[in-house]
Amino acid sequence: MASFPDFVNENEIGKAKFVGELLAPVAPFDQKSGRETWTVAFAPDGSYFAWSQGHRIVRLLPWSKCLADLSVRKDERSTGVGRLSRQNSIGTVTPLSSEPREHTIDCGDVVWGLAFGSSVPEKQSRCVNIEWHRFKFGQDQLLLATGLNNGRIKIWDVYTGKLLLNLMDHTDIVRDLTFAPDGSLVLVSASRDKTLRVWDLKDDGNMVKVLRGHQNWVYDSAFSPDSSVLCSVGAGKAVVAELCV
């Protein structure tokens, strides 16, 4: 029989309510995708929410504005379920320049993985020659990594919606992405090509190493809180742990 840990209040879990949903518009370039949503992610500081709208589109939404626009209404069955009425809002958002802006990103292929990465300015990079560096040292960065069906990883500037990097070493679907939580902008990608790859985005996306501990597809990975250990799982029956220091 399953049980909850002592610190979990089962009564509070029972009170949890579904408060809203985001609806993807029909993609004019692909009527076969069915508008499936494969992945979602929050920025570490809660400023943005990202979700894939089926096929190749990702929406970047300022989370505070998303909550402010929440329109809760009873549906036809009077279930009390609310919806976020944003499916037709593309091109209608005109925020002030000082506010977080909403972006619609066309990644060019089916999006399987999303991850936000935020930098710590004083965190040193592996990069030796910073004269050719595309990021500004000493300033905060907020990036969105997207893992695609064709094995590519595209890195976007969250504030502008512009493409910064295109990482192309995987040979199959990129199923999962995760940033080290120490603000180093070290990114790990998990793929169906049975590998995990470690990228240093502060070094213009240089691939630091390839991890080959899996014999089958790799589905998911996670860093320890101090960024020293990476654990991953896949189609096999084991958890693979790697030291990252």
pLDDT tens-digit map of 133-188: 555 544 567 899 999 999 999 999 998 899 999 999 999 999 999 999 988 889 99
**Inter-residue long-range contacts of 68-77, CB under 8 Å, 24+ positions, other chains counted:** 70/19, 70/20, 72/19, 72/20
Domains and CATH numbers, the chain: 18-23+34-243 (2.130.10.10)
pTM: 0.77
Poorest-pLDDT segment among 15-19, 34-38, 53-57, 89-93: 89-93
**∠203-209-210 over CA atoms, to 5°?**
135
Flag whether pLDDT at 126 surpasses 70: no
How crowded is the C-beta side of 169, counted as CA atoms within 13 Å? Answer: 17
Flag whether pLDDT at 88 surpasses 60: no
* Dist. CA 70–CA 82, nearest whole Å: 8
Q: What is the pLDDT of residue 73?
A: 37
Q: What is the pLDDT of residue 67?
A: 77
* Dist. CA 183–CA 135, nearest whole Å: 14
pLDDT tens-digit map of 14-25: 666 665 666 766
Q: What percent of the chain has pLDDT over 90?
A: 33
Give the chain's end-to-end CA distance (angstroms, integer).
39
